[in-house]
Amino acid sequence: MSNKISVSILGATGSVGQKFIELLIDHPWFEIASLCASEKSTGKKYSEAANWFQPTPLPDYIGDMIVQSCEPSVKGRIAFSGLDSEVAGPIEERFASAGYAVISNSKNHRMDFDVPLLIPEVNAKQLELVRQQKFGSGMIVTNPNCSTVGLVMALKPLVDNFGVEEVSVVTMQALSGAGYPGVSSLDILDNVIPFISGEEAKMETEPLKILGVPIKISAQCNRVAVVDGHTESIAVKLSKSARVEEIIEAWKTFRAEPQTLQLPTAPAHPICYFKEDNFPQPRKHRMLEHGMVVSIGRLRPCPIMDWKFTVLSHNTIRGAAGGAILNAELLVKNGFIT
């Protein structure tokens, strides 16, 4: 008999849902008890319902599990949600009302006043908000948008040490961020698409709730032909002057609660700074510390703002499933989930 906490995955067949499965297969605290998706998948074996496109093989016992509908009678104390945002809102509320700890990647509840919008290294204290929720033993905790995560992780040490007033960010976002099957090959090969619906507004608002400081942010979001890993070109105006080595030191030495608590999914070094002129790159660096590191490089003076640099983070790991699992670990370690 295992004494691990049983979890269900909502939206288990999708891009984020598959990453949840991959990351949870050998998790020391959690075990997958149920896989849920839409009507078209319900009742099928997982291996038939999902087109598994992860780099690791699908274990037989997962492939043989029968996909269930998203009803809060399925097994699991935690419900990790990778649901399409068209349907996530009410389904997640029903699960929370039935006593599940819902950890969501969808936008629906992110800006609710009593819902934590959590990056454990940045605003672990926001977990306290769940005490204001009306779900009894259930709760909803959310992950930020996948491109917000890289931006905010890079900004946090700057906010703490120098203050940040203005940010300009231009993204080059991976295909897996568009879900499965996502953007058609004929649309994206030999091309860049300079629009991702709703993305710029999320990047301009979510960091304010997470960091709790008023920053003016301008975001421009592009889809590029990279499979995994969002790259962001960022320029910042700081509140007080800083030297190049001070900024790099602030990034390199950044540690927070997940590292102190040694949570299983926490990277030992949450930010990696590269001195090479042509780093970071998605193919080379997205999998550092199992995809949980935010890579930064190319720090240089900006003639318009103060500084500019490049950030890379894995969108379905640090920006979605891995981040959500880290949230759940923080909840468990702090006694919110027993």
The answer to whether residue 282 forms part of the interface with ligand NAP (CB under 6 A) is no
The answer to whether residue 79 forms part of the interface with ligand NAP (CB under 6 A) is no
The answer to whether residue 17 forms part of the interface with ligand NAP (CB under 6 A) is yes
Q: Which residue is nearest to ligand NAP (CB)?
A: 14
The answer to whether residue 87 forms part of the interface with ligand NAP (CB under 6 A) is yes
Q: CA dist 275 to 144, 156, 272, Å?
A: 28, 20, 10
The answer to whether residue 316 forms part of the interface with ligand NAP (CB under 6 A) is yes
Beta bridge partners of 164: 238
**Residue entry with tokens 């691990």:** 4
Of 34, 142, 161, 315, the one binding ligand NAP by CB under 6 A:
315
The answer to whether residue 117 forms part of the interface with ligand NAP (CB under 6 A) is no
Half-sphere exposure of 326 (CA within 13 A, CB side): 33
40-48, Cβ contacts within 8 angstroms, sequence gap of 24 or more: 41/13, 41/67, 42/67, 42/68, 42/69, 43/67, 46/12, 46/13
Structure tokens at 326: 């880290």
The DSSP bridge pattern shows strands 307-313 and 230-238 to be antiparallel
- Write down the least CB distance from residue 324 to ligand NAP, Å: 9
- Edge-first strand order for the sheet with 164-173 is 216-223, 164-173, 230-238, 307-313, 294-301, 271-274
Q: Where are the alpha helices (DSSP H) in the chain?
A: 15-24, 46-49, 60-63, 85-97, 120-123, 146-161, 185-188, 199-211, 244-252, 257-260, 282-285, 322-333
In terms of CB distance, is 15 or 327 closer to ligand NAP? 15
In terms of CB distance, is 92 or 257 closer to ligand NAP? 92
The answer to whether residue 168 forms part of the interface with ligand NAP (CB under 6 A) is no
Site string for ligand NAP, 118-157 (x = CB under 6 A): ----------------------------x-----------
Q: Which stretch binds ligand NAP (CB under 6 A): 80-88, 188-196, 291-299, 305-313?
A: 80-88
- Write down the least CB distance from residue 134 to ligand NAP, Å: 23
The answer to whether residue 176 forms part of the interface with ligand NAP (CB under 6 A) is yes
User: How far is it, in rounded angstroms, from Cα 244 to Cα 293?
Assistant: 21
Peptide bond preceding 181: is omega within 30 degrees of 0, i.e. cis?
Answer: yes
Of 5, 35, 62, 83, the one binding ligand NAP by CB under 6 A:
83
- Write down the least CB distance from residue 12 to ligand NAP, Å: 6
In terms of CB distance, is 228 or 306 closer to ligand NAP? 228
The answer to whether residue 313 forms part of the interface with ligand NAP (CB under 6 A) is no
Binders of ligand NAP: how many residues, by CB under 6 A? 29
* Residues labelled as active-site residues: 146, 230
The answer to whether residue 70 forms part of the interface with ligand NAP (CB under 6 A) is yes
Of 130, 153, 320, 330, the one binding ligand NAP by CB under 6 A:
320
The answer to whether residue 33 forms part of the interface with ligand NAP (CB under 6 A) is no
Q: Find all residues with CB under 8 Å of 197, minimum gap 6, and list them.
A: none
The answer to whether residue 21 forms part of the interface with ligand NAP (CB under 6 A) is no
The answer to whether residue 82 forms part of the interface with ligand NAP (CB under 6 A) is yes
User: How far is it, in rounded angstroms, from Cα 168 to Cα 37?
Assistant: 37
User: How far is it, in rounded angstroms, from Cα 46 to Cα 64?
Assistant: 6
Q: Find all residues with CB under 8 Å of 35, minimum gap 6, and list them.
A: 8, 9, 12, 13, 17, 21, 46, 62, 65, 67, 68
Q: By CB under 6 A, name the binding residues for ligand NAP.
A: 11-17, 37-38, 40-41, 70, 82-85, 87-88, 105-106, 146, 176-177, 179-180, 315-316, 319-320
